[in-house]
Each structure stands twice: as structure tokens, then as C-alpha cells.
Amino acid sequence: MNGLTICIIGAGSSYTPELIEGFALMRETLPVREIRLMDIDTHRLEIMEGFCRRFAAHMNFPVTITATTDRRRAIEGADFINTQIRVGGNAARVKDEKIPLSYGLIGQETTGAGGMMKALRSIPVMLDIARDVERYSPGAWMINYTNPTGLMTEAITRHTKAKIAGLCSGGLFPQQWTAKALGVPKESVRYDYVGLNHMNFAYNVTVDGRPITDAEFDLIADRVWSVDHDLIRQLRVLPSPYLQYFFHTTQRVKEMRAAPRTRGEEVQLLEKEVFAGYQDPEGHTKPEALKKRGGGGYSEVALSIMKSVASRADSWAVVNVPNQGTVRFLPDDAVIEAACLVNSSGIKPVAIGEVPRAVWGLVSAVKNYEQLAVDAAMTGDRRTALLALLAHPLVREYELALPLLNDLLEANREYLPQFFR
């Protein structure tokens, strides 16, 4: 590693400084000589370029930071391409939330009908990016945080030869919960991990190779947020917080409909505050408002993956990868979120113990929906999109799915040309 070239596509994201900070902190083990910021939003890109340069100087991080709206220029010759795009911005996210809620369904940006719309908008763009990576930097790895990351990874692995690591900071949660509950270093915690992005479960937890006791599991269960703790004790697995939308659907819909604003509307307000901080020419540290934005911490996973791929060091990480027999009840080409061994030879899922029977149905149903959604995004076929909604446990009813799909497609017409030929 004589100095890596990093490309960040979607660099106008408020999370970009987390990556800059991570590279600065890991400069001895992950040396970076150039960071290329790329975005189609020239205003946000200009703000982020100025802030990232001030931030790097503040950290005494000698790196070249450039900005461009030219995707080829950003990708060509790069070692890693970080993708964190949001097609349609937060305005589209608000529609993804509000339209399903008007039908009495979960309105959320990665789960349910709203998550499907984000996938339909994003997959064609992500495939274009992946094909550019194949063409202009074929040896590079894509490090993806564009949501829904599992569907992005599935589309790219099924339809291109680009190398991609689909990431989510949620894979670290069981490690963090265990470390806090038991007072142990998080690096000592390992577990079997089964499922999909935002539909996953950790089990067979160990600390320094020692299986935890039932009493220790109950302590860890108390650290999980959003899902009822007694339910977790019944399941005997640690669920993703996103399982709240499946296990507590009626209550969550009620809460969402009663809230004065959707999460997307809150984020729109927060980002005005965050970008005011980034735009301040005297500002050289991350704005305090960024802490309220949520979803942070992802750079920890991204940098760990890049370090292991670029060097000879092995690491353990949770990554979205093709199944290839890891979960026997899912197709081999289905992308799963799994504990993986990461090193210079690639990213490979590790073998897992017998999957708890209580989670088979949900994981299978949501993967059925995901594969249909990827097909719908590729073809623009309304029938396939309808079948995806019918397969999704959070939609399912035909009398809801049909008018809901029509409303969602119409609301996203400008981003979905494949459906309006």
C-alpha cells in the first residue's frame, strides 16, 4: 500500500466527514494519498469539498482532496469506490414514508413498500456506477452504503462482475450490546449471524470463544432497543432493531401516524443545521448537529473492510454477500447479510450453526420479496413489482398492494423511466 486513491460517490452526504476522519485516524495502517469527492449536487459538493479540506488540515492529515461531477474522472484508477447515494434525496424519502402510512402500512425508507421504492430508484443508478467501475477501474472494490444495501448488492452481483462489499453498521450491534452488558472488549465477541440487511438475527454468541450463559443472554437482550425484551428472551436470538416493524407492526404504524413529522422530514430539518455548520468557513470540526442525524458509525466497518482487502490482515466483519450455500434454505445467488472472513483474497461468509427455526419464515419471505424487487427494478415490469409487494410480509394484501403500487410509482415517475415507457 503505497498510498491509496479513494473515490466517494455521493460525497455530498452529511456522513462523508466520518470517512475522512477514519482515514486520518488509520493513516499508519491504511495510507491514503488522494480522496476524490463526486456528486451530482454541485452546491453540496462544493460545501463538502471546502469542509473536508479544513477538517483534514485540522487533523494534520496530508491528503489530496479533489471534487468533481464527472463520475469517470472520480472512478478511473481508484482503489476503492465508496457509494452512498440517495436518488431523489430526502424529498423522495418523505414520499416513501407518507404514502404507505396513508394505507395504514409501515412507512420506512428501507423496510416495506417505502424500501422497495428506494430500491427501484437506486438500482439502475448503482448498476451504471458498477459498470463504470468494471470499465475504468476493474480491480477496485465498491464499498456500498447506499440503501437498501442488500438489494443494491444483489443487483450488482447478479448483473455485473464488479467486486462489492455491501455494508451496514447494524452488523456491529450484537457486538456492542454484548460488550456493554457483560463489560468485555467488543473485539472478543463473536456470533453466528443469519438473515438479510435489516432482517437479521445473531445467536451462538461467544466471548473469547466461550459460549455465553442463558443469564448473560438475558442481560444482553435488555440492551436491544425497539424490540420487546420478553420477546427476545422467547426467541433466544438477538434481532436487528428493524424487526420492530415486523414484531410490533400495529403499534409502530399507530406511532408513525400520530407523529407530527416523519423521520425523513426530521432529517430534512437536521440537514439544514448540519450543512450550515459545514458551510461555515471557520468550521473545521464536525457540527454538533451531526450527532442527531442518526445512522453514524458506518465508517468503522468500511475502513476495516478496506484495510483487510488492501493488506494481508484477516478481519471478521458482517457483510452483504452472495449466499453460496451458507443458509441452506435460500438460493445460492441470494445476497445475505453474514459474518465473513475478509482479507486480500476477498470476502467469504463463514459457516454458521443450525439456523433457529423461529426465523426461517420471515427471512425466506423477505428474500422472496427482495429478489422480485430487483427483477422489477431491472425490467420496469409493474406485475413483478406488484408480486414483490404481495410477497412482503408488511404489505401482502392485494386490495392494498395494487392501489399502493400505482400511487408510489406515480409519485416517483421522474426517477422511474423504466416503468413509464
CA 72-78-84 angle, 5° bins? 75
Q: Which residues are paired to 6 by β-bridges?
A: 35, 80
CB count in 10 Å sphere of residue 358: 12
Q: Which of 330, 393, 317 is nearest to 360 (CA)?
A: 330
Distance between CA atoms of 182 and 222, rounded to whole angstroms?
A: 11
Active site residues: 242
Q: What is the DSSP letter of 109?
A: S
Do residues 195 and 360 lie in contact, with contact meaning Cβ atoms separated by under 8 Å?
no
Q: Which residue has the cell 457483560?
A: 182
Q: Which residue has the cell 429478489?
A: 371
Distance between CA atoms of 232 and 228, rounded to whole angstroms?
A: 7
Where in 198-264 does DSSP place strands (E)?
Answer: 199-207, 210-211, 238-239
Q: Which residues are paired to 203 by β-bridges?
A: 192
Distance between CA atoms of 94 and 408, rounded to whole angstroms?
A: 12
